[in-house]
Structure 1
Amino acid sequence: MKHKNSILVLLGVLCLILVGAVVYTAFIRQPDAVETDSEASEGSGGRYITYKGKEYRRDQNVQALLLMGVDRESTAQVGEQTGDAGQADSLNLLILNKKEQTAKILQISRDSAVDIDVYDENGSKVMTAEGQLCLQYAFGDGGGRSCRLTVEKTEELLGGIDIDSYLALTLDGIKVAVDAAGGIPITVPEDYTWIDPAFQKGASLVLNGEQAEQYVRSRDTETLDSNQQRMERQSQFMRALLSMLAGGGFSTQELTDLYQQLEPYMTTNLTADELTQIAGYTFQEETQTVPGEVTEQDGRALYITDAEKIQDLIIKEFFIEK
């Protein structure tokens, strides 16, 4: 069992890179079933549903944790209402199997179309309007309330599956973590010299903190699917980070020091005691993405998700056939 601070550090580092991946996480509350094309019923072993003519029950070994990368400097405009708590520019669901000690990454586009609940400065709801999922965070408090509002909208997007744990990290922590780690090695897959002249296709680099922030944060706002391209860079960067961390080159004290540096940038509802209940997970390197397609609406990108494919995915990942 690893030192609790080591686990917290790993969570913080992975989240700050804005993609989410397999980490050490808590033993969190059992989610309820997804309400799909039939009524859910109580059965032996927990909740179950009928979906496409087959009966399934919720797999009690599978847990979900939402990781958020937050840009504090961004504001949101929905109708005539403005939210200034920042935006959740990166949203990634960790699907964790306690029995098999494995985990998967489900990337969720920040541009996913949802009904945004808009609140005034007193916390009173004033309206609901369609918008990008990332904007929901802006109408909270920039902390736990913003995280919970984003979790609720993500649950709705994924057909009602419960997400009881979250960990958010602001973009400000990227330089801190990467520089403390001594840089992250990558091979640039495409020509990204518009971000940094050093980002030439095929170049092998060790990114410092400033370069890492630009690599995972930048996007060409003139291109409609720019966020999809950025998500690909984020996944590639995470794989490099995980490979380096898996090498075991960091002492407990170094990880503890790093956690203390990152703590001001993190918001989570996980406790240290919960984190220590689980050991290391192995992870699936290939990242899944919530199915859908990018469209343009009023000059902005909206990612329109495929509800039926999402239901298929949720059934596959969170339920088992009776």
Structure 2
Amino acid sequence: MKKRYKIIILLIIILLIGALITLYFTFKVNRFNNNIHESVDKKEKVKATQQKLKHHKPISIALFGVDSNAKRSKENLGQRTDTLLIASVNPEKEKTYLMSIPRDTYSKISGTNEHEKIAHAYAYGGPKKAINTIEDNFDIPIDSYMTMDMDGFKQVIDSIGGIKVKSLNTFNYNGSSFKKNRVEKMNGKKALDYVRSRKEVGSDGDEGRTKRQRQIIQKVVDEVSKERNISTINKIINAGENNVKTSFTVGDIKTLYFDYKPATNHIGKLKLKGENLVEEDGLWYFEPDDKDKKDKREMYLDNLK
């Protein structure tokens, strides 16, 4: 009887610990949802997106990396998109297309008569203005968005213990050195240096930077999707809740994580061709090639069918 009593006590303790862990993560998830969720769409569009997710239909997502870290926020320097990608995610075809849009792309800012660098749209009106500008200039629908600032980028990578990366270029930036084809494990700070450089010798300008951005995003997606350790998942949640804004709810993110994972089996990268030009205002802009822009658009849209 004494042994049986000890077993019952042990089971009660295990169940209690399990309940406390569940309660803790429920609280964390609810807080996480409140901190990161920021819808910019009308209710009709939100419902349409959630129906797509419910039935595992293809979805189009805008991904913004903004230069609004703690230092910039403190000094009221505003937000501009340092990284701008759109992703067509199709779980049935097991394919995702990532299209990088150069931050200097010459674009008409939605709701204005002004033509400026597309990166400025976010500064003028946040994700809503940026999404509308993408839709207007590329004729591509966007269902949802995710925004991460520079602090978040570093913290997420540090939370998963860094990532192994094979450098695509040889250059130095912000105290970090990179050598082409060298494989190394990068922490958050070094990974951020790797994707930010564009003017340094050997970094290959905007073209090189967009390639490295796609490379790092794919690496992070691969590592996070494999993660099972509760402690690490908790660190990812902590990194995300203070540095991410998205129109997705936590429920939506859960659906993406579990039901859209096949879409990461094949990730295609779409790079816009074009040329750098000096416009009337004396600034440099990237002007996409019309035919290439049309071809890339069709490939992107085909993955949404």
TM-score computed with the length of structure 1 as normaliser: 0.66
Q: How many residues align?
A: 251
Equivalent pair of 1:63/1:96 in contact (CA under 8 Å): yes
> Aligned partners of 1:314, 1:303: CA distance in 2, in Å?
17
In terms of fraction of residues, the more strand-rich structure is 1
1:215–1:317: structure 2 CA closer, same or farther, 3 Å change rule?
Answer: closer
Task: Supply the AA of the counterpart residue of 2:262.
Answer: Y
Greater share of helix: 2
Note the residue ranges of structure 1 that are not aligned, 5 or more in a row: 10-25, 32-59, 76-82, 118-124, 141-145
* Aligned: 1:296 with 2:292: no
- Deviation per residue, 1:198-242 (Å, 9 max, x gap): 323343321122211211122217999722221122223234334
Structure 2 residue aligned with 1:282:
263
Q: Which residue of 2 aligns with 1:199?
A: 178
Residue 133 of structure 2 corresponds to 153
Partner residue in 2 for 1:105: 98
- 2:117 is matched with 132
Aligned to 1:310: 293
Q: Deviations over 1:233-264 (max 9, x none)?
A: 22232343344445x35424421331123211
Question: Do the aligned residues in 1 keep the contact of 2:170 with 2:202 (CA within 8 Å)?
Answer: no
Structure 2 residue aligned with 1:69:
65
Q: Note the C-alpha offset of 1:84.
A: 4.9
Distance change in 2, residues 1:318/1:286 (3 Å): closer
CA gap 1:228/1:63 in 2 versus in 1, 3 angstroms: same
Alpha-carbon separation, structure 2, partners of 1:299 and 1:222:
23
Instruction: Output the CA distance in 1 between the equivalents of 2:167 and 2:253.
Output: 34
Query: Equivalents in 1 of 2:118, 2:297: separation in Å?
Result: 19
Gaps of 5+ in 2: 1-24, 33-46
Q: Which residue of 1 aligns with 2:164?
A: 185
Stretch moving more, 226-235 or 164-173 = 226-235
Q: Which residue of 1 aligns with 2:155?
A: 176
1:28 matched to which residue of 2? 49
For residue 157 of structure 2, give the secondary structure of its aligned residue in structure 1: helix
Distance 2:301 2:186 in 1: 37
Root mean square deviation, CA, Å: 3.6
Could you give the per-residue CA deviations for residues 73-97 of structure 1, whole angstroms, max 9, x where no partner exists? 699xxxxxxx953101111111012
Q: Give the share of equivalent positions with the same residue, in percent.
A: 21
| Equivalent residue number for residue 93 of structure 1 | 86
Instruction: Spell out structure 1 runs of 4+ moving beyond 6 A.
Output: 3-6, 221-225
For the 8 Å contact 2:173–2:197, the answer to whether it is kept is no
Distance 1:272 1:291 in 2: 36
Kindly provide the CA deviation profile for residues 274-318 of structure 1, in whole angstroms up to 9, marking residues without a partner as x.
Answer: 333441133334411234332233553311123443333333432
TM-score (norm 2): 0.69
